[in-house]
Amino acid sequence: MNDARARRPARPSSHAYGSRSLKTASLALLLAMALPSIARTPTLSADVPALPPTQPMPYRTFPAAPVQPVAAGFDVARFEAMAEQLVQGQRVPGLAMAIVQDGRVLSARGYGVTDVVRPQPVDAHTVFRLASLSKAFAGAMTGLLVNDGSLRWDSHVSDYVPGFQLTDEGYTRQVTVADLLSHRVGLKAYNAFDRDIEGNAEYYQVVQKLAAAPMRCAPGECYAYQNVAFSLVGDVVFAASGSFYEQAVQRRLLEPLGMRDASLGLAGLQGSARWAKPHARSRNGWVSLNPKPTYYRLPPAAGVNASASDMAQWLLAQTGHRPDVLPAPLLATLHAPIVATPGEMRSGWRHERVNSASYALGWRVFDYAGEEVVFHAGAVQGYRGLTALLPGRDLGVAILWNGESNLPSGLLPTILDRALGMPAQRWLDVDTDFGSDNLMADDGTSPASPSAGVSSSSSVASPR
């Protein structure tokens, strides 16, 4: 864990700042969510199209429409066979997958190896870095403090982190907790100062640079994906709860959910009984790497490690089957789209299937062929991951792998299509003898090419 956490500032007194300006329409809608009581927390209708961020979005009252069963022919054994083929011949070194549906764990398994140099089989308890899948944990942790009454979604960050500054003092005072979690701080650049983090800079040194970062809009009025600014929510959690962010997540989420392999930080990963090493592609095949500490310095954005077994428990909680830890109205709030992100529909399966895209609180929300999908991807050097919830079918899927390759990503739309009963699409290049259901790669590259969907060994991926 980052030693810099000891320097986190204490919470200022309640009179640190004066009057507070009225927020945009989307933030006004979040005010209803900010009450300590969660009895009537609203959520967005699943059929609401993505709207510009300054327009109000219609809300409905939880719960949603009745859950439908997955379509006939939804065969988990087929998906497991596809995962097995993805690791054959070290197309990717190792992979873990969890599938839950209707409150049951249908699959939580590992495939391939932890390390091509000293191979051990990946199993259900092999730990992977989650990269930006960690952002959903930050949203959930913050939501628990809102439920406790010790924080509000519209709480101002500067009231909890007095050292926080933007270029404009008025903008500094406007940024809310919800703005952090939905990437609406207003910064002009996406992933602002990620290069500094990749250059081994300390988090608190980089945060100070936000004071000079160009702004594109007022806070709450536009979207730009961030890792550094997002991670300020960790300081807010510390100030509001008195617990360091890592400790709070462990105590409030990982332990009660039974995520026994999960941890935060590089020490947590390396201290695991079994963990998957990151890999990059070279001319001679896969090269195993030592995991870098860089993005672990941003625990809310990219700090969590977990196994397939852990992710199954996380998916059960996110699909509403652990209300003792994550109450359903809180989940509805976390999954409610806040700001439109049309750039997420430009390529691959998203271009083919996604009709609208938005960001919620640590999650993306897609209209996937007419069905709501709550989603996030994660990427950091040597690791990739995808998580998706299909609320209308009570389905959750998590896929993690330890190689810089896009190849396994087609497994997710394959599973979603099957759950919805859609015609087979060529998302994945596996040969599983399914007759007309054979699936081929659809990423614009030849599956036979050594470079298809992979990065060079020198590449660095920002968590996303």
Distance between CA 368 and CA 353 in Å, rounded? 5
Nearest to 146 by CA among 6, 299, 329: 329
Please enumerate in sequence order all residues whose Cβ is within 8 A of that of 399, keeping only pairs 6 or more positions apart, or say none: 83, 95, 96, 97, 385, 386, 387, 408, 409, 411, 412
Q: Average pLDDT of 315-336?
A: 98
Among the residues of 191-280, which ranges form H helices? 194-198, 203-207, 232-241, 245-249, 266-270
In percent, how much of the chain has pLDDT > 70? 79
Please enumerate in sequence order all residues whose Cβ is within 8 A of that of 351, keeping only pairs 6 or more positions apart, or say none: 345
Residue 11 has pLDDT above 50, yes or no: no
Q: What is the pLDDT of residue 347?
A: 85
Tokens of 175: 């940024």
Distance between CA 222 and CA 183 in Å, rounded? 8
Length of the chain: 464
Domains in the chain: boundaries: 76-137+246-437
Distance between CA 392 and CA 412 in Å, rounded? 16
Directed axis angle between helix 411-420 and helix 76-87, to 10°?
170
pLDDT band at 44 (very low <50, low <70, confident <90, very high): very low
Q: Indicate the pairing of strand 104-112 with strand 94-101.
A: antiparallel
Q: What is the DSSP code (8-state) at residue 131?
A: G
In percent, how much of the chain has pLDDT > 90? 76
Place of tokens 């628990």: 144
Q: What is the pLDDT of residue 461?
A: 53
**Residue 186: C-alpha distances to residues 106, 135, 199, 348 (Å):** 41, 18, 24, 28
| Fold of the 76-137+246-437 domain | Beta-lactamase (3.40.710)
Place of tokens 């939501």: 143
- Within 10 angstroms of residue 259's Cβ, the number of other Cβ atoms is 23
List, edge to edge, every strand of the sheet that includes 354-359.
104-112, 94-101, 395-401, 383-390, 371-380, 364-368, 354-359, 339-340
Q: Which residues pair with 112 in a beta bridge?
A: 94
The whole model's pTM is what?
Answer: 0.83
- Please indicate whether residue 442 or residue 349 has the higher confidence score (pLDDT): 349
The amino acid that residue 300 corresponds to is P
Q: What is the pLDDT of residues 161-179, one digit of tens each?
A: 999 999 999 999 999 999 9
Q: Which of 4-13, 153-162, 280-289 has the lowest mean pLDDT?
A: 4-13
Q: What is the pLDDT of residues 415-424, one digit of tens each?
A: 999 999 999 8
- Within 10 angstroms of residue 439's Cβ, the number of other Cβ atoms is 22
Place of tokens 């659809």: 442
What's the whole-number average pLDDT of the chain? 84
Q: Which of 110-119, 130-139, 164-173, 439-448 has the lowest mean pLDDT?
A: 439-448
Q: What is the DSSP code (8-state) at residue 251?
A: I
pLDDT band at 65 (very low <50, low <70, confident <90, very high): low
**Residue 355: C-alpha distances to residues 48, 272, 373 (Å):** 11, 40, 11
Q: What is the pLDDT of residues 259-304, one digit of tens each?
A: 999 999 999 999 999 999 999 999 999 999 999 999 999 999 999 9
